[in-house]
Structure 1
């Protein structure tokens, strides 16, 4: 049994927060079938946010950074066709952890054009081969981003129609152990 599946089993057995997985459209994330779970949480990952974003909703990504990471991204997007770049889709929030210069960056893409990338804080919260927990809280005017319980920064909404933000995408040098 792979390390990811074992850790996922441990995490799922210790879940006190039953609503944690409710924000994503796929109820199979809590499936007792371990093979289904590992398949659903493979990177790159794309999953539907049930009902889109709204104030009060939060997305939680838990995982383990790879041993020799370069970078990873967590994005909240409008629409599921981002693999097909023919149609420019909006990216409401793209969080990028870059290990070479220890930066945690954020940006957005509106009507096919990227906004200026906002610089990271002085604190880089990610450590190779270690677990992490990212929380993205949606408020009326902004997203508030926490890592391991510490508020790192705010990102003011560039996409004004919050319900249209309906997909979470994760890629890069990490393993996902829980998503909700």
Structure 2
């Protein structure tokens, strides 16, 4: 897959000021695969803004170590929204071995045909995941070399409106 940089190399943050683009992408088409410049590190944040489709079944946002399909790239964190049973699954997959999916959440934050904002903040021991400004969960690192986590993959029943 060819990866391109934004025309001027900058994105706008929520306050409208330019910030250096850390995620390069050709177009915001689902399924999407983009490169995270320099990989993850403590303090780095990945932002995904989008709109859930009108009749969604599910969608997933994954941070992976490369974009290899065969063998499949290690998945540092996968966030999967399943609308049929209103569950938010989170998982990782290292060397083909999936961990147990973590399920329990007090509420399901995604609504069909509505916009959302997911932020994945990398900290030293964990990822912190926020949806629409509310901290949803912590996910402790299973891949210790954070800089190897250099790809974002998004697929399913959504449209992407902004990445950063």
TM-score by length of 2: 0.88
Could you give the per-residue CA deviations for residues 40-91 of structure 1, whole angstroms, max 9, x where no partner exists?
Answer: 100000000000000000000000000000000000000122xx2x213210
- The Cα of 1:17 is off from its aligned counterpart by 4.2
- Say which of 79, 91, 96 aligns to 1:112: 96
- Say which of 69, 75, 79 aligns to 2:56: 69
SS at match of 1:118: coil
Question: What corresponds to 2:38 in structure 1?
Answer: 51
Unaligned runs of 5+ residues in structure 2 are 1-11
- Distance in 1 (CA, whole Å) between partners of 2:100 and 2:14 is 40
- Distance in 2 (CA, whole Å) between partners of 1:69 and 1:131 is 13
- The Cα of 1:15 is off from its aligned counterpart by 5.7
- Distance in 1 (CA, whole Å) between partners of 2:109 and 2:16 is 25
Unaligned runs of 5+ residues in structure 1 are 1-11, 30-38
Moved over 2 A (4+): 12-15
Question: What corresponds to 1:33 in structure 2?
Answer: none
Pairing 1:177–2:161 present: yes
Question: What corresponds to 2:132 in structure 1?
Answer: 148
- Alignment map for 1:64-143 (pairs within 5 Å): 64-81=51-68, 84=69, 86-143=70-127
- Distance in 2 (CA, whole Å) between partners of 1:18 and 1:96 is 30
SS at match of 2:127: strand
In terms of fraction of residues, the more helix-rich structure is 1
- Distance in 2 (CA, whole Å) between partners of 1:14 and 1:161 is 30
Question: What corresponds to 1:41 in structure 2?
Answer: 28
- Distance in 2 (CA, whole Å) between partners of 1:78 and 1:14 is 28
- Distance in 1 (CA, whole Å) between partners of 2:49 and 2:158 is 10
- Distance in 1 (CA, whole Å) between partners of 2:15 and 2:49 is 12
Give the number of aligned pairs.
154
